[in-house]
Amino acid sequence: MGKAGAARKLASAAVYGGGGLSVVGGALYGVLTAEAKLARKTIGKIREDPPPDSSGWYGRGRPGPAIRVALLGDSSAAGYGVERVEETPGAMLASGIAEHAGRRVHLRDFAVVGARSSDLGDQVDRAIPVTPDVAVILIGANDVTHTVMPSASVRHLAEGVRRLREAGIEVVVGTCPDLGTLKPIAPPLKQVARAWSRRLAAGQTIAVVEEGGRTVSVGSILGPEFAAAPALLFGPDQFHPSAQGYRSLASVLVPSTLAALGVIPDEEAHVETLRGEGVLPITKAAIEAVRTPGTELDGTEVGGARLGVRGRWVEIRHRRRRPQTVAETPEDADEPETADH
């Protein structure tokens, strides 16, 4: 079965409750489980002190009404490994949105270090009552390192996106990174982790778009820049990003989050064929996104129809990255949230 067929089968099995797609045989599964344990031992124990909480108000001096953002997911969303709040992806994301939208931003950080897709339900429970305009989700890496079947991972993510969209909340999902690039993961797990994480990312993409969200491919931890400068872009454990790595992560999330909010320049409203943008069937687009970090997918229509003979139509975009913003330290998160909203 080709990659496109595998992604379609994985997403369908996850969304409709089937058994899902295994990327390894049963005999190899035990070996890989042992290799995953060894990789986690190499990475080391999770630090007991949590990363700084990025919840709060951003965009000092900018007008309202405030843009409300909820951040959900795992350690890559929480900012594990950094010491200062302005180094967290949440602070960088909220600061970037505030600067480029010209609005105040209130961020609520619900991400939990070590979270898997099965933990998203609790985070969604907490996020919906605060009525964010957009929820940004980063999840999947821990599912791979703990050898969770991709079908189960995608099913949990699809359910979370469905609930958020039913509540009227826009959703942007940064799909599973390519864990085959990480130093603590040795062969044969490295090769399988790459295939596993890429198929998970493709399945996540299909499921999220089907549920009305949009995705941004994280890929090989945001592409060649990580491979070229791992000492700069990975933290000391060589698994979690450094502060500069989180900055690169935020730089690909900000443009798509602005698009989800409808805050983009007029010249970015339509696809640009010269930038490789266009409209594709969902499975083909998902595979393309896995290959090209930073690719955004969102559902669209062709001739007034959402579906073609090859499934859901999607718009594939390569958003221009905004100039990097100097991240702010958030103001008190307990400030009354009813103001300007």
Contact 160, 203 (CB under 8 A): no
Say which residue the tokens 């443009």 belong to.
255
Tokens of 91: 């602070």
Q: How many other C-beta atoms lie within 10 A of the C-beta of residue 289?
A: 27
Task: Name residues whose C-beta falls within 8 Å of residue 85's C-beta, 6 or more positions apart in sequence.
Answer: 52, 53, 54, 91, 329, 330
Write the CA distances from 210 to 18, 89, 179, 230, 295, integer angstroms.
17, 27, 25, 35, 17
The bridge status of strand 311-317 relative to strand 278-281 is: antiparallel
Amino acid sitting at position 25 = G
Cα–Cα distance for residue pair 319/27, rounded to 1 Å: 43
Structure tokens at 162: 């469905």
* Cβ atoms within 10 Å of 232's Cβ, excluding its own: 14
CA distance 279 to 298: 10
Residue 31: Cβ within 10 Å count? 13
Report the alpha-carbon distance of residue 138 to residue 319 in Å, rounded. Answer: 18
Going by C-alpha positions, the residue among 142, 8, 2 that lies closest to residue 76 is 142
DSSP 34-52: HHHHHHHHHH-PPPSSPPP
Please list the active-site residues.
Answer: 75, 237, 240
Nearest to residue 58, comparing CAs of 111, 103, 89, 109? Answer: 103
